[in-house]
Amino acid sequence: MNTRERYPSDLTDLQWANIEHLFPQAKGKSGRPRTYPRREIVNAALYLARGGCTWRMLPHDFPPWKTVSYYFYTWRDNGT
């Protein structure tokens, strides 16, 4: 469950329910569950797109910028 305050760019529950299936739920390379929820990574990418800021200016209540950029580019490159 997310405890941070909502940003205007965050997905609503209905929006997430409609697109959640598009984002792979694979485990990490070591087989461990992911540290950050996919929805938070998508919300962070939407924040960046809407706000026009750089990766390093991502607020600290999102996953680390390196994590968000890794998933963004991985999903972009694999067609997600």
Distance CA 68, CA 36 (A): 10
Given a cut of 80, whether residue 55 has pLDDT beyond it is yes
pLDDT band for position 2 (50/70/90)? Answer: low
Q: Where are the domains of the chain?
A: 36-80
Contact status, residue 40 vs residue 18, Cβ threshold 8 Å: no
Average pLDDT, the chain: 90
Q: Report which of 72, 39, 38 is spatially closest to residue 55, judged by C-alpha positions.
A: 72
Q: For residue range 11-44, what is the model confidence (pLDDT) as tens digits? A: 999 999 999 999 887 666 666 777 899 999 999 9
pTM of the model: 0.86
Distance CA 30, CA 15 (A): 31
Please give the average per-residue pLDDT across 60-78, as a whole number.
95
